[in-house]
Structure 1
Amino acid sequence: MNAEVKAYSNEPNVRTTEESFIEKVKPHLELIAAITSGVLIAAGWILEKIDLGTASIIAFIFAFLIGGFAKAKEGIEETIENKELNVEMLMIFAAIGSAIIGYWTEGAILIFIFAISGALETYTMNKSHKEISALMELQPEEALRVTNGTQELVHVSDLKIGDHILVKPGERVPSDGRIIKGNTALDEAAITGESIPVSKGLQDDVFAGTVNINGSITVEITKPSSETLFQKIIQLVQSAQSEKSPSQLFIEKFEGTYVKVVLSAVVLMMFLPHFLLGWSWTETFYRAMILLVVASPCALVASIMPATLSAISNGARHGILFKGGVHLENLSHLKAIAFDKTGTLTKGKPEVTDVLVKDGMSKEEILLKTAAIESHSNHPLAQAIVRYTNEHINQELIHPESIEDVSGWGVKASFSNEEWKIGKADFVGKSEAESFMGGSSIQLASEGKTVVFIQRNEVIVGLIALKDIVREETKLAIDKLREKGIYTIMLTGDSQNTADAIAGEGHLDDYIAECLPENKVEELKKLKERFGNVAMVGDGINDAPALATANVGIAMGEGSDVALETADIVLMKNDLPRIAEAIQLSERMNRIIKQNVIFSITVIIFLISSNFLQVLDLPYGVIGHEGSTILVILNSLRLLKS
């Protein structure tokens, strides 16, 4: 009884082990078949040398069947589906033709090398899909849902918007949400590529697939599992791998016509040289078979797709997601790039840069009372002032007795018998504001800063200047682009003063201020007329129309969902220098594709010429043709390296 139970309980483990073994072997089946074919060819050759002709032919037949099965199946299925012959069919005809005229070894070697090149292409595909597999493994399948204090383990797909989940230290966040309890540090490398953990507290957003490092947090779900940023990344990489570049589409269209031309030439080659050049029938048919082998565009067909997949895979590994080969190909032809300001060139969050107070006043008191008033507002400027005060003054805020928000102008508040106003110059008295401390506000405004005035009992006692700080990497990114001869311009809705200051600080060539979303589209159209190939970089909903208008739309990974969906390329780490890296990757890819195409055409022309001059034997034709295909694929695989 116990033995039966034990055997029964172990059965799933045996099955799991078998399934695991099959899963591991499956990606390498083509290579295993090719190697088996090679072993059979060697056995056939040895048997032929010791005069065991029948056994030798049997070995070669098995080499044909095992080595050529995958490619033959692929060729026949594509021919039936597209109703057009392809390269795989040419190889099948060539191998069969070689066997018919008694060149079993050469035909088998042709199949063997063709199988090896096919295994290499599959390897390239598997490498490009590896990023998706690695990403999918990072997303948890289960979550600990908390309902009225009760914890329940549920599948991630069962989570709904508004559900609360508990994420313990060391666990991955199962779905996008917002922290409602607890503080922690999250490893967001899976999303942004940034290895340094990011501190997270109340109301901070968290993303599926990131790792909770050191504190338990309760998260409120804000998106269903199918719409998380993590899922969008996976979908982006998948769509990029399935979408073909213009070069690849041209080659595939050209392939069908080329195959027909080759077959027609082979048919003519079977007869004309016998009558026109006096070749024997054996020599004529032999040369026709060599032509069938060497004229096949295998290397040409393999010139583009492995290179494109390798480049897309490389980009995905470094936080640059391409939605298709066409965008990667176009990137190297850019002549101009337009940038949104907020959240793209700048951090998107204003920071306090200057605090000026009236002589004789306490800077600490003014900051504390201003922060106490502003702590009741969700406005980005108010939050920046509170954040600055907390960082510089280690005191608890004393909250006002009354507070009134004056929409569009500022805020009023009272402390005991003091009346406070915080806001624009017009709100506290324009003339007094402009003359405060020798007109400091005018100078600060000219530097692109926003000035907030502080008034107590009808007297201005201080001002706070804030600015959306230019990202540290912005200057480096713009300088790299300008070195490549790319024109850079900023499109922003900010005032002339702010735009001028940011453009100067960011080293941009030009800027257009007070630019509404519809104006951005018009400016993009003008840039396209002027430069031809133009990119747009943005992160917000208001950038989506411009991203769609540009030849290449580039979205920042922390941007809005609309921007991510509209853009052609996504920078997951919000790292602008990645644009120059992406352009460099595009240039490398196009250069390698050009090398592959020129090399493959040169080899085909050389082999065809050698065949007509009767100096090329079938074995060398097979090695030259299939060897060039393998070299082209290996050259493409260089793009997998950083």
Structure 2
Amino acid sequence: MSLKQVENVASHHSWVVGGMDCAGCANKIRTALERLPGVTDVSVSVMAESLAVSLDDEKTSRDRIERTVRKLGYSITPRDGGATCAAGGEGACCASGGQNGPAPQLGSGPRHATAASSHGAGDASVHWYGTAKGRLVILTGLLLVAAWGAEFLLPGALGSWAFILACLIGVAPIARRAFSALGAGMPFTIEMLMTVAAAGALFIGAQEEAALVVFLFAVGEVLEGVAANRARAGIRALGELVPKSALLEENGTTRKVEASQLSIGQIVVVRPGDRIPADGEIVEGIAGIDEAPVTGESVPRTKGEGEDVFAGSISTDAVIRVRVTRAAENNTIARIIRLVEEAQEARAPTERFIDRFSRYYMPAVVGLALLVAVLPPLVVGAAWDVWVYRALALLLIGCPCALVISVPASIASSLSAGARRGLLLKGGAVIEAAARADMVTFDKTGTLTVGRPVVTDIWAREGDRSTVLALAAGVEAGSSHPLAEAVLAHAETQGISFETGREARVIPGRGVEARIAGQTVFVGSPRHAQEEGVLTKDAIDRIDALEAEGKTVAVVSGSEGLSGVVAFRDEPRQDASAAMQELKALGVRAVMLTGDNARTAAAIAAHLSMEYRAELLPDDKVSAIRDLTARHTVMMVGDGINDAPALAMADVGIAMGSGTDVALESADGALLRNRILDVAGMLRLARATMANIHQNIVIALGLKAVFLVTTVLGVTGLWIAILADTGATVLVTLNALRLLGFRVERRS
């Protein structure tokens, strides 16, 4: 194979697509493009309003892709912003296209490049009347009013012709999309049903109702588009958190540059009140950092040199210098948006079932409508015009739009609500599994605990605890061992001054010793101290009591004998206990899985009122999760590389936002605020989402069941039928949008 052939086979292209309102829109585009020769790996994102394909350019050209999408009623613009843009996507229902022009993209960087001309479906600055859907509503409305005026003013049949003209002009773009979908192998679309219903109504002389039906259909599409854009607004707002410009420091001077052009390692200056333009590390200054825009945490955190900061967070009270640690396309905001976009494409089992159901439901409705149209006239001699009219109304009632949109609308709202509150779930399948979870397993270190030891107790043989701390700090000065850092941090907090030890040396497996004030001071294991005969009975009793509480103990002794002991423990997070209480209130069991020793695990578990399994290697954690998932729906929460296998094995794996990239990638979601309390909030959101989905399904099927019966009985007509269908779709969407305001905190 030649190099040119390889390039053709592996050619990748992407576009911005305007006018998609739900997963049905994506499915319509995907189905049409997959029928084209040489087109593979079709990826359509409703949330990002994007299209990407792998294309054999010798079989299908980019222009053909664009023509196909445009015929379906959508606007399309190449990612590079250079080529054609549809003059106006006509818009469609839940299974069709929409408003004019592409939408600004949600993220930043190359993958989320904004098209050159972006005034479309997703652009909040464009009012509904500036879109193709809006223009169709205005046109059909004016035509309907003109027809009523003509019927009143003009004699005889001229008024009827005005309604016929209004109907034909209004239904023309709908029919064009219907036949484009038919050519792409999709005969059962709402556009086709609308076209058949309008044509049939004209055929039996119901021209006034035909024109009214077309107008109501257009109104319904506008409402669906507005509702879909509201669902996107929360995620789009995230993309706007990152400032467009940054103050780059070079050679002692600063200059303004585009934030998207910042490179790793560059230094930026952030003034009080400014948003931080990139993920980075503070290299100079101390400031209160408001992370609420990113994580939802309401209280600013004081951060100084060496601490990480997120793009989009705000320096509240001081100037800081920040070293960029992530490129724009990979910063925290961009990663959140990417996760949500990808989550939109991961469909829930309920959604997949409804899609399969709709494939059979639509032909069944069409078949039933045909029977209603022909059987009564043929069997009992009923009037053809009456039963054809009822069959046409049945077609409109039978449209599955509300049912198809019921799940993705709720999922989109849930993902948006969660992302704004620091809760990321990667798709509908994850939400559905989380809603069923009846057990949550936690890693200990760095998840339930803060991940670093702190000094918890100091015992002095003669009661002078500050002397014990000063001796320990002097020996540990300059060491990077976690316990040494804990001693030094505690001494600083307590304001204890100490003499730095000299001639320090490590005694492998035992501890550290150094010369302080003319004596050799030892800090190390109780076992070594006992072997040396240093420990007293009181000291041994105290050490046993501290170790029973799951604490690590170090003995401090000098030439004059025992000085005292220092106890350490990786303490539980402040919200861990409250989190366990909330999980219990939700009827969810909490289990700690840890590689730590059983005594420490038991102490932490008792403090938090939870179950535990201790001394587990990474493989043991996987085995434990496998055992638990046989009897429960298990959510696993962890943060480290060693947690990645267990996160992948669990029904739902959730990574702490401060965790490793491996944990974040292998997990099904993340807690950006690093709060254990948010686990309960995530479960509440997932359960509320599934309840919302079930409500939507009842609304969609319930209304259809009622109006199917009333239509066959002749109680409701064409315009009521389309009003009922549009009304059901709007009700379902509005109900889904309620999730945008869902409070994940426990209500008192």
Both structures adopt the same fold (TM-score exceeding 0.5):
yes
Which residue in 2 is equivalent to 1:13?
A: none
State how 1:65-214 maps to structure 2 within 5 Å. 65=169, 69=173, 79-81=182-184, 83-214=186-317
Indicate which of 225, 233, 239 corresponds to 2:342: 239
Give TM-score, length-normalised by structure 2.
0.77
Shift of residue 127, structure 1, vs aligned partner:
2.1
Which residue in 1 is equivalent to 2:425?
A: 322
Q: Is the Cα contact below 8 Å between 2:291 and 2:297 reproduced in 1?
A: yes
Which residue in 1 is equivalent to 2:568?
A: 466
Which residue in 2 is equivalent to 1:627?
A: 727
Looking at structure 2, the residues matched to 68 and 325 of structure 1 have their Cα atoms a distance apart, in angstroms, of 36
Shift of residue 594, structure 1, vs aligned partner:
1.8
Looking at structure 2, the residues matched to 402 and 35 of structure 1 have their Cα atoms a distance apart, in angstroms, of 88
What residue identity is the alignment partner of 2:196? F
Q: Is the Cα contact below 8 Å between 1:185 and 1:215 reproduced in 2?
A: yes
Q: Is the Cα contact below 8 Å between 1:127 and 1:313 reproduced in 2?
A: no
Q: Please, which runs of 5 or more residues in structure 2 have no aligned partner? A: 1-115, 743-748
Shift of residue 545, structure 1, vs aligned partner:
0.9
What residue identity is the alignment partner of 2:505? E
Which residue in 2 is equivalent to 1:249?
A: 352
Which residue in 2 is equivalent to 1:399?
A: 500
Q: Is the helix fraction higher in 1 or 2?
A: 1
Looking at structure 1, the residues matched to 298 and 546 of structure 2 have their Cα atoms a distance apart, in angstroms, of 37
Structure 1 residues 47, 180: CA separation in 2 closer, same or farther (over 3 Å shift)? same
What residue identity is the alignment partner of 1:195? S
Q: Is the Cα contact below 8 Å between 1:169 and 1:212 reproduced in 2?
A: yes
Which residue in 2 is equivalent to 1:9?
A: none
Shift of residue 101, structure 1, vs aligned partner:
2.5
Structure 1 residues 611, 141: CA separation in 2 closer, same or farther (over 3 Å shift)? closer
Partner of 1:304: helix, strand, or coil? Answer: helix
Shift of residue 242, structure 1, vs aligned partner:
3.2
Indicate which of 437, 443, 461 corresponds to 2:545: 443
Structure 1 residues 47, 584: CA separation in 2 closer, same or farther (over 3 Å shift)? farther
Partner of 2:682: helix, strand, or coil? Answer: helix
Matched, 1:335 2:443: no
Partner of 1:139: helix, strand, or coil? Answer: coil
Structure 1 residues 613, 170: CA separation in 2 closer, same or farther (over 3 Å shift)? closer
Which residue in 2 is equivalent to 1:592?
A: 692
Which residue in 2 is equivalent to 1:556?
A: 656
Partner of 2:654: helix, strand, or coil? Answer: strand
Greater Cα offset, 314-323 or 103-112: 103-112
Looking at structure 2, the residues matched to 507 and 82 of structure 1 have their Cα atoms a distance apart, in angstroms, of 59
Shift of residue 546, structure 1, vs aligned partner:
0.7
Which residue in 2 is equivalent to 1:383?
A: 485
Q: Is the Cα contact below 8 Å between 1:524 and 1:549 reproduced in 2?
A: yes
Matched, 1:581 2:684: no
Partner of 1:138: helix, strand, or coil? Answer: coil
Indicate which of 208, 219, 243 corresponds to 2:322: 219
Which residue in 2 is equivalent to 1:5?
A: none
Looking at structure 2, the residues matched to 63 and 427 of structure 1 have their Cα atoms a distance apart, in angstroms, of 95
Which residue in 2 is equivalent to 1:352?
A: 455
Shift of residue 147, structure 1, vs aligned partner:
4.2
Looking at structure 2, the residues matched to 630 and 242 of structure 1 have their Cα atoms a distance apart, in angstroms, of 22
Which residue in 2 is equivalent to 1:522?
A: 623
Which residue in 1 is equivalent to 2:22?
A: none
Looking at structure 1, the residues matched to 169 and 511 of structure 2 have their Cα atoms a distance apart, in angstroms, of 81
Looking at structure 1, the residues matched to 207 and 536 of structure 2 have their Cα atoms a distance apart, in angstroms, of 95
What residue identity is the alignment partner of 1:586? A
Matched, 1:613 2:716: no
Matched, 1:297 2:397: no
Looking at structure 1, the residues matched to 204 and 635 of structure 2 have their Cα atoms a distance apart, in angstroms, of 58
Looking at structure 1, the residues matched to 227 and 343 of structure 2 have their Cα atoms a distance apart, in angstroms, of 15
Looking at structure 2, the residues matched to 536 and 626 of structure 1 have their Cα atoms a distance apart, in angstroms, of 42
Larger relative contact order (CA 8 Å, sep ≥ 6) = 1
Partner of 1:469: helix, strand, or coil? Answer: coil
Structure 1 residues 513, 45: CA separation in 2 closer, same or farther (over 3 Å shift)? same
Shift of residue 453, structure 1, vs aligned partner:
1.6
What residue identity is the alignment partner of 1:611? T
Which residue in 2 is equivalent to 1:537?
A: 637
Per-residue displacement from partner, 1:455-485 (whole Å, max 9, x unpaired)? 2227221111122222232222222222232
Looking at structure 2, the residues matched to 224 and 620 of structure 1 have their Cα atoms a distance apart, in angstroms, of 55
Shift of residue 369, structure 1, vs aligned partner:
3.4
Looking at structure 1, the residues matched to 471 and 505 of structure 2 have their Cα atoms a distance apart, in angstroms, of 15
Structure 1 residues 488, 182: CA separation in 2 closer, same or farther (over 3 Å shift)? same
Per-residue displacement from partner, 1:317-350 (whole Å, max 9, x unpaired)? 2221111111112211112111111222222232
Which residue in 2 is equivalent to 1:50?
A: 153
Greater Cα offset, 409-418 or 316-325: 409-418
Matched, 1:488 2:590: yes
Looking at structure 2, the residues matched to 458 and 305 of structure 1 have their Cα atoms a distance apart, in angstroms, of 74
Which residue in 2 is equivalent to 1:501?
A: 603
Structure 1 residues 203, 25: CA separation in 2 closer, same or farther (over 3 Å shift)? closer
Q: Is the Cα contact below 8 Å between 1:87 and 1:255 reproduced in 2?
A: no
Greater Cα offset, 571-580 or 336-345: 571-580
Matched, 1:425 2:526: yes
Matched, 1:369 2:471: yes
Partner of 2:406: helix, strand, or coil? Answer: coil
Shift of residue 597, structure 1, vs aligned partner:
1.8
Shift of residue 208, structure 1, vs aligned partner:
1.7
Looking at structure 1, the residues matched to 613 and 352 of structure 2 have their Cα atoms a distance apart, in angstroms, of 38
Q: Is the Cα contact below 8 Å between 2:475 and 2:504 reproduced in 1?
A: yes
Q: What is the RMSD computed on CA atoms of the aligned residues?
A: 2.8
Partner of 1:555: helix, strand, or coil? Answer: strand
Which residue in 2 is equivalent to 1:410?
A: 511
Which residue in 2 is equivalent to 1:12?
A: none
What residue identity is the alignment partner of 1:570? A
Greater Cα offset, 258-267 or 82-91: 82-91
Shift of residue 196, structure 1, vs aligned partner:
1.6
Structure 1 residues 182, 483: CA separation in 2 closer, same or farther (over 3 Å shift)? closer
Per-residue displacement from partner, 1:407-427 (whole Å, max 9, x unpaired)? 554322222422122222234
Looking at structure 1, the residues matched to 646 and 373 of structure 2 have their Cα atoms a distance apart, in angstroms, of 59
Indicate which of 373, 377, 382 corresponds to 1:274: 377
Q: Please, which runs of 5 or more residues in structure 1 have no aligned partner? A: 1-17
Greater Cα offset, 445-454 or 166-175: 166-175
Q: Is the Cα contact below 8 Å between 2:272 and 2:315 reproduced in 1?
A: yes
Looking at structure 1, the residues matched to 496 and 517 of structure 2 have their Cα atoms a distance apart, in angstroms, of 23
Which residue in 2 is equivalent to 1:636?
A: 736
Per-residue displacement from partner, 1:535-558 (whole Å, max 9, x unpaired)? 101111211111111111111212
Q: Is the Cα contact below 8 Å between 2:534 and 2:557 reproduced in 1?
A: no
Partner of 1:633: helix, strand, or coil? Answer: helix
Per-residue displacement from partner, 1:550-598 (whole Å, max 9, x unpaired)? 1111112122222222211211112223222222222222222222223
Q: Is the Cα contact below 8 Å between 1:423 and 1:454 reproduced in 2?
A: yes
Looking at structure 2, the residues matched to 522 and 577 of structure 1 have their Cα atoms a distance apart, in angstroms, of 26
Looking at structure 2, the residues matched to 549 and 78 of structure 1 have their Cα atoms a distance apart, in angstroms, of 41
Which residue in 1 is equivalent to 2:80?
A: none
Per-residue displacement from partner, 1:575-631 (whole Å, max 9, x unpaired)? 223222222222222222222223322332332223333333333333333323322
Per-residue displacement from partner, 1:59-101 (whole Å, max 9, x unpaired)? 66557655884x6676555555554532332233223322333
Shift of residue 231, structure 1, vs aligned partner:
1.9
Q: Is the Cα contact below 8 Å between 2:580 and 2:609 reproduced in 1?
A: yes
